[in-house]
Structure 1
Amino acid sequence: MTEPVFSLKDIIVTVGDNVQILKSLSLDIYDGDFITVLGTNGAGKSTLFNTIAGNLAINSGQLLHHGHNIAHESAVARTNYIARVFQDPKMGTAPRMTVAENLLLAENRGRKRTLRSRGLTKEKLTEYAQITQVMGNNLDTRLNTATGNLSGGQRQALSFLMATRVKPELLLLDEHTAALDPKTSEQLMLATNQQVTQNKLTALMITHNLTDALKYGNRLLILNAGNIVLDVRGDDKVALDEAQILKYFIV
């Protein structure tokens, strides 16, 4: 197997009165992995994402990016290669800017350029119409609409497109369908899987939906009390069912 893109080695994260949330957690993430992440509330899922993204400092251990320790690198610096879509559709987009302007902003991520209206050429708008059409929710007809006026599903679809407009080395999907109704959630999940697989993205996805965790991705993790208690991929993942997964959810 090739070298991992990201490696977490013996990561310990504590909060409050020295309460350990992640307990010597180790994880290798390989190029092209689409990892679904399960766990009860308080298992450490969000802490894992915040640690990778740089929003939460570690107490000990190493966080490696292509073998280079980035544990002390800022969250802003990590946005050059890590993208994140949050549960709240209102996060990740600028509400007063149009859909097209948000996409242009995402496209210029990491570049020393400012957003100018002249950047939205006719050709660029045509390109954005094609990009948004694949989401299947009429977002392509609302390119000139302020993002704050979109439905929750459209706004979350836009957040996903923005996060992947410049291909990240790691995409963190933080329960990105949880705040949506079942139909919209399924629609976004199908579009997510299509984009991740077709563009060969490396992604981690937190979900509470056992069906989605089994259906999507090549690898599945279960966290419990700050530890990884299951890490399966390939045929071993395919062989799992919901009853087997539920055994790991110790109350």
Structure 2
Amino acid sequence: MKLLRFKKDGKEKNGAIINGGMVEIEHSLLEAAHSHPDHLERKEFYLLNEVKILPPVKPSKIICVGLNYRDHAEELNMALPDEPILFLKPSTTVIGHEDSIIYPAQSHHVDYEAELAVVIGHEARFVSEDDALDYIAGYTVLNDVTARDLQEKDGQWTRAKSFDTFCPIGPWIETELDPSNQRVCMKVNGEVKQDSRTKNMIFTPKELISFISEIMTLQPGDVIATGTPPGVGPLQVGDVAEVNVEGIGTLKNRVTKS
């Protein structure tokens, strides 16, 4: 089931994708994610082009994983990590489908990074790998936009990853995805730049949830970005970045000036 947030007539609403359109639902997305589709209270039906799609969640934090694809490590000639490499993006980086990525004046090299993202459905602390999947509301698509020159200049990642608009998420949450072998693809202006499969992940979503929950409490709506495949490269003002994760859909954003 695909669940989304949207705006219609100035009001924020929740919905589910049905028959190529969308039906408004009474439930929150995290409630709906744990409900059977037949049990959802339905209201108005809309076509997708009649509404503004919003980011599917408002996370308290976005936990990202660096170097989590074997083929990306091979591309960089780097050893595989023994443990997940973690960093955070603030919630103020989040934008939705067809919102603009703003190219900051401080940077001269901004990169795209296509990723599968996990949406947490229940508070998670000290979760075992065996139980980890029970804490997932669903999966979505994410672009971990990065000011690469600032990352290299600073020697750490906070500034480079934290500009407003640097975390497009969406367009919706897919509650029934098997994340073990889905295609992850990035197109810039229609040209394929990244193309791999989630089977190349070093650490799986359930391993990541267990590992992260031993460090910090994961709150409902929090997002785990599971890493990017090879082919990371620069964006320019005017570019259109499209991230597609098989089984979920396509997240599309244009780059604009600050």
TM exceeding 0.5: no
TM-score class, shorter = under 0.3
Q: TM-score if structure 2 supplies the norm length?
A: 0.26
Which structure features the higher share of helix residues? 1
More strand by share: 2
Give the TM-score taking structure 1 as reference length.
Answer: 0.26
